[in-house]
Amino acid sequence: MSTPDPPHTPRPGDLPPERRQPPARELLRTQGIRKTFPNVVALDGVDFELRSGEVHVLLGENGAGKSTLIKILSGVHRADAGQVFRDGRPARIHSANDAERYGIATMHQEFNLVPHLSVAENIFLGRQPRRFGLLDRKRMESDAAGLLARVGVDISPRTPVHRLGIARSQMVEIAKALSLDARILIMDEPTAALTADEVRRLFALVRRLRDEGVGIVFITHHLEEIAELGDRVTVLRDGRSVGQAPAGTPRDELVRMMVGRSIEQQYPRQTGRDGEQARTATPLLRVSGLSRAGAFSDIGFELRAGEVVGLAGLVGAGRTEVARAVFGADPYDTGTVEVQGRRLRRHDINASLAAGIGLVPEDRKGQGLLLDSSVQDNLGLVTLGRASRGGIVDLAGQQKSAARIAERLGVRMAGLGQRMGTLSGGNQQKVVIGKWLLAQSRVLILDEPTRGIDVGAKVEIYELINELTASGHAVLMISSDLPEVLGMSDRVLVMAQGRIAGELPAGDATQDAVMALAVGTAHRDGGATAAGPAATAPVHMTKNREGLRGH
């Protein structure tokens, strides 16, 4: 058995290490893994191999079996059949303790951290160092400081975790894995909610760990990350491993392997009406002078039937805050929101619902769904009151309506009674949108509509947006994925420091033009339409909060 390469100690200013062929030493292998749940075959004979000092990307659509496989490797689930090998020997992984004993650490999409405990307490949770039978806090915090320094993050070990953002929480998770002396690190969608600069920092750390001989299983839906970071790719489809490829394989080929077909157009935008007709049509939604102290100021825009308006900006620009205020979920101090010429009461969700506004929130699991309830119940959340007479719900009518919407959206499920939390991310997103279609909402606000969704499901969401605008709906789409905004919008509004910095028609909306407005470097003659005082106001935004991810 060969020994791993000696650790590489990076120095300040070092460039990322050159891509090299992964060593031959096998760390982990699965053979013929099968796992079933009621009415669902999640995995059916999956083979996978991880070598020391490599980043092995696990790729597949939502529902392909990726999460089930890593839960088996981390001891959350037990396989029904098949075998796991560690260093070439059979491994019995029936619990998280077993996985830890085999040197396997997993970063799930939902962090396994206790918010009210300190960083040091989370890193050594259940393994706190003791002296004379008592907690040795000084040693625990010293050891935690060393681990934090190793991952390159400047956090006090005494800081409560609830004060950390997503990026630094992820670094704490990695420090926790290193404290276990893990040689296998599984990272499930680690970049889904990170800014571009935070992604660069994470990638630098992953490269350092790879150089130290750690084997890393990396799950992502961002295909551009594969060639940048990965060494090999294993593709899952419908619970089966359908192939392995080098990380440099063209994206089109990876997509074909994932979905079993070619996707000709990544952003299949079909404009609902011609430009002149859209400009002269009566607005479905008009927002004027909307302001809330400390959040946003003097927001004004119009949204017409048949169009998609993109709302872009850096992290902290105020996009989500504006969306929630327009919907009535959060208050605002001054300004007006009108739907088809009718002014709505502020901070009144019921008034917004009655007027035909729907909001698909960025946190679909926390704010858009009841994960323990059925698909039918989730589709009927908004219309439940309308489906009742005299306090009695028309269950038959509700079921018929839910079935109609689910079929229209192509929701993949065992039936309307399936628990919401067992659906893939793409199908969950369809249900969130579907409940607003059932409510006959004319104006849809989509906040990060494709976050955490695979490329095949993204295209299905885009095609649904086309259907909506073709039938007279209006869509306001907020996204941190800049190519998505550019590819699917008829107009782009750019926010900076709580104001609308400018508006770009589709023909002028380029990555450079949007970023110039977002960071305050655009000029009035640069193709953007000035939108109030913010169009020329300086915007001081540090690069480490860059929230638009250009690919």
Q: What span, in angstroms and rounded, lies between the C-alpha atoms of 435 and 389?
A: 20
Structure tokens at 221: 């839906």
Does residue 29 or residue 11 have the better pLDDT? 29
Say what the pLDDT of residue 538 is. 29
pLDDT value at 80 more than 90: yes
Same domain, 384 and 300: yes
Domain count, the chain: 3
**Tens of pLDDT, residues 370-423:** 889 999 999 988 876 555 555 555 677 778 888 988 888 888 888 899 999 888
Q: Check residues 73 and 533 and name the one with the higher pLDDT.
A: 73
Percent of the chain residues topping a pLDDT of 90 = 42
Joined tokens for residue 322:
């504006």
Instruction: Assess whether pLDDT exceeds 50 at residue 539.
Output: no
Write down the pLDDT at residue 40: 77
Averaged pLDDT, 61-82: 90
- pLDDT higher than 50, residue 120: yes
The string of pLDDT tens digits covering residues 13-37 is 333 444 444 445 899 999 999 999 8
Domain identity same for 459 and 328: yes
In a domain, 271, yes or no: no
214 is in which domain, residue-wise? 26-103+183-259
Instruction: Look up residue 474 and give its two tokens.
Output: 């209006």
Mean pLDDT of the region 145-157: 88
Looking at the structure, do residues 226 and 301 belong to the same domain, yes or no?
A: no
φ, ψ (nearest 5 deg) of residue 283: -65, 140
Q: What is the DSSP string of 266-333?
A: SS----SS-HHHHHHSPEEEEEEEEEETTTEEEEEEEEETT-EEEEEE-TTSSHHHHHHHHHTSS--S
CA dihedral 266, 271, 276, 280 (to 10 degrees): -120
Decide if 17 is inside a domain. Answer: no
Whether the per-residue pLDDT at 463 is higher than 90: the answer is: no
Verify that 97 and 191 share a domain, yes or no: yes
Structure pTM? 0.63
343, two tokens: 């002014």
3-state secondary structure of 128: coil
- Residues 174 and 185: their CA atoms lie apart, in Å, by 8
Inform me whether the pLDDT recorded for 151 exceeds 90: no
Single residue among 227, 259, 291 that ends a domain in this structure = 259
Please indicate, yes or no, if residue 136 is contained in any of the structural domains.
yes
Q: Is the same domain home to 177 and 193? A: no
Please, which residues bridge with residue 219 across strands?
58, 188
pLDDT digits (tens, 9 = 90+) for 322-354: 999 999 999 999 999 999 999 999 999 999 999
Is the domain of 219 the same as that of 331? no
pLDDT band at 530 (very low <50, low <70, confident <90, very high): very low
Q: Kind of pairing, strands 283-292 and 296-304?
A: antiparallel
Q: Are residues 128 and 64 in the same domain?
A: no
Residue ending a domain, among 158, 181, 204, is 181
Q: Is residue 550 part of a domain?
A: no
Looking at the fold, whether 197 and 137 belong to one and the same domain comes out as no
pLDDT-above-70 percentage for the chain: 85
Is 301 in contact with 295 (CB distance < 8 Å)?
Answer: no
The pLDDT assigned to 278 comes to 52
Position 550 pLDDT exceeds 70: no
Residue 123 in this model has a pLDDT that exceeds 80: yes
Decide if 422 contacts 40 (C-beta within 8 A): yes
Nearest to 295 by CA among 242, 334, 327, 350: 334
- 300 lies in the same domain as 419: yes
The per-residue pLDDT for 282 is: 80
Say how far apart CA 513 and CA 528 lie, in whole Å: 8
Mean pLDDT score across all residues of the chain: 83
> Encoding tokens for residue 223?
């295909």
Verify that 231 and 366 share a domain, yes or no: no
246-252 long-range contacts, CB within 8 A, separation 24+: 247/55, 247/57, 251/223, 251/224
477 within some domain: yes
pLDDT over 60 (residue 111)? yes
Domain for residue 470, yes or no?
Answer: yes
* Continuous segment of H or E residues that includes residue 446: strand 443-447
Tokens 């926010």 sit at which residue?
A: 495
Residues 234, 236, 239: CA angle, nearest 5 degrees = 145
pLDDT by residue (tens digit) across 255-264?
888 877 666 5
Q: Do 187 and 169 share a domain, yes or no?
A: no
Where is average pLDDT lowest: 194-198, 216-220, 327-331, 351-355? Answer: 194-198
pLDDT of amino acid 6: 41
pLDDT of residue 477: 95
Residue 8: inside a domain: no
Q: What's residue 263's pLDDT?
A: 61
* 162, amino acid identity: H
| Residue ending a domain, choose from 181, 208, 224 | 181
Interhelix angle for 395-409 vs 425-438, to 10°?
120
Tell how strand 26-37 and strand 40-51 pair up.
antiparallel
CA distance 519 to 542: 9
CATH of the domain at 245: 3.40.50.300
Q: Are residues 311 and 423 in the same domain?
A: yes
Q: Please say if the pLDDT value at position 280 is more than 90.
A: no
Name the β-bridge partners of 334.
291
Backbone φ, ψ for residue 389 (5° rounding): -135, 125
Identify whether the C-beta of residue 105 lies closer than 8 Å to the C-beta of residue 180: yes
Residue 120, in any domain of the structure: yes
